[in-house]
Structure 1
Amino acid sequence: MGGLKKRRKDCGYSQETFAAAAGVDRTTVGRWERGETEPQPPLRPKLAKLLGLDMAGLGALLSPQAVTQEAEGHLDNLTSDSGDDMIRRDFLRVLAIAGAFPALPAHEILDETADSRAMNDHLWSVYRLTRSKRSVFPIVRDQITALTDELKDGRDTIGLCSAAGDLFQLAGELAFDENRYTDAAASYTLAASASREAKQYDLWACALTRHAYVSLYERQYEDAIGVLIAAERVAKRGDGRLATRHWVAAVQAQAYAGMKNFDACERAMDEAEEVLHLAADSVNGGWLRFNASRLAEERGARYVELGRLDLAEAALQRALRQAELGRGQSYRRRGAVLADLAVLGAKRRDLDEVMTYAHEALDLARRSGSGYVARKLRTLRVELRPVATDARAAELEAKLAELAA
């Protein structure tokens, strides 16, 4: 057993309770224990305190070591496929030499590129509509392989890089929804590289914005802001008719809310609401999906994080009404709004309000298979701890634990 994992267990922590105490995602702790990543320096003093160690002792536990899946008995927890790594490496190799091939003039763009874009649009539609996001991944992987083969021939480099920048974002979304943050970050990095090669600034900014989500969900808010500032600069070079810069602002608001900076969060949300002034047909249906239908949900979620509960309730109830009217809300998005309302009730110690929303959110999380809604409900588990002795809260906690498992 790895040193960090053994110490954690000796101190009486499950992986989930240790993650909650450290302020990170459970999957992050798993990666530390498997030696895939190491905690960032700002987190280490807190981890040392939790484990009853000095900094030197913690450093000894975190030293790189070969930890095989067989020794850990976690064969079922494999999250990345070595074949996927090979596909990414092959694409990076081809992309590195792509600049040596001249792109064809615009009027000679190959039919294959148009076909790739049409296929990407179709895959984004399937991704939005399917309940099992995982089922889309084999098709995405095959499409990436086909694009790589096209690039090897040196044909229409710019068009194919644009299509790849789109497709790798979808691959990242699939990984992120399954809490595979390392795989998601790798895909978003490839998406940014391909989009930059194609000089597709909006596509590039969206890839950076999605990359920032990895830091957000690990509560590394300052890291996220750094990426989002870069995304903002890139988006300013893009198409002003698209919603790109407004989506970047909405995600900046999430980072500022995590940092408890109310004024900066409000300024970012005000910028995000400028999306209302765009033409109705200005939002791409694939890699860019931010529009006015998400504003109330986004603002409500930010107010929950900031502890501004009255403001949060008004915004989230507005988002819920929009969902009931059928304005662009999927199972995933409705489930997220309900989860935020349940968290709001828990912060108020109003168990009736919690039960009103939590059970439907649970049902939608199961039906959609969404890691996004599940992450929202993980926050609810933390908020329920002060009322854990209540029978209803205990029953709900058991169901939430089952979902997490």
Structure 2
Amino acid sequence: MNSGLTKNPWRVMLGVNAALLVGLFFYKITLRPFVPYIHLLVDYHYGFTKRALIGAIVSLFTDKVPVWLVFALGGAIWLVTLGLFVELFRRTFRLDDAHWPLFVFTAGSPFFLKNFMFSLGHFDIYGCALTIVLLLIPARSISYVLLAALFSIVLILIHHIFVLMYVPTIAAIVVLRFYLVQGVTLRNVVAGIAALAAVGILFLAAQFLGTVDVPYDEFLRHLQSRMADPSRTDLLEFGYIWYQPLAKEITDTWARMPSNILGVPVFALLIWLHTPLWRYFARLIDALASERHRRIVVAAIIMISAGFFVMFVMVFDYSRWISNWAVCMFLMLHAVKTLPASKEVPVIASDDRRTTTLGWIVTVIPRVGIIRPF
């Protein structure tokens, strides 16, 4: 008699993923949240400041920030993102046996929810959540373009690196879901140009005008005054990033490059393990009814990837960048699926032995990491 493992291994993989997520959460709360905690302390006390929106919002509700708030806020946005993605998957595909392999290779990928759990408290997940919202809501009017611009502005106020991380994907989704459907009119073009200009100007302001303009010791004293436990000064050691110019970040990244570049083969292997997913994505693009749509989708993927390449050159959190690149590809897959197709594309086979093996490997990998692989 065949066991449940043999009959439907994909459901078992979902259970294994759930267990790993629980384990990752309990492991994460044992670690000191250096960068995520200090982000909750920085606000607009000294005027316009980069990376300060979340901290400024927190300051509206409490004068003293406990360390546990990092995990509470991070866990809340993680659960919201999980719910949003499940709903997105249900709408785009279906939550049934035929689509479990696709769900495992996306939701169960070490690049996605598991890595967001490991990096709990970091702000990458906000970009993912808002991008999923744009995939869920109707794109019937110019308000969709304006909402996408608003989301991009919020993300840049959270952290200006979003201009390379999720804003290109948001722009691509607007093009695929709005401009390819509603057409290019003077009104639509003006709105798009105005949105791009607003986002671009804000990014430049955050990058070059958002540095704290007070002595470093004074800045640290302000952060310490907002701590629920001021004795935990060890959690303030990354305060220098609000003073570090772009040139210094690039210099530090290239100084670490010889050792960090050793992780590239590991990233390549992790990407290769998702081969059934990439092949399905390629078939979706190839099946698009319009050659123009195919070219625009390919151009969008190149644009998104170029943004992440620039991030690799400038900032050394490589495991986060490659993981978020993969997440952007997962979300682009959903956007492409909504475009008119000339033929039905078969889903990832659930009974193929090689695919099942890759699914198990993807499942048991708990996460990718933040800087170096694992």
TM-score (structure 2 length as normaliser): 0.32
TM-score (structure 1 length as normaliser): 0.30
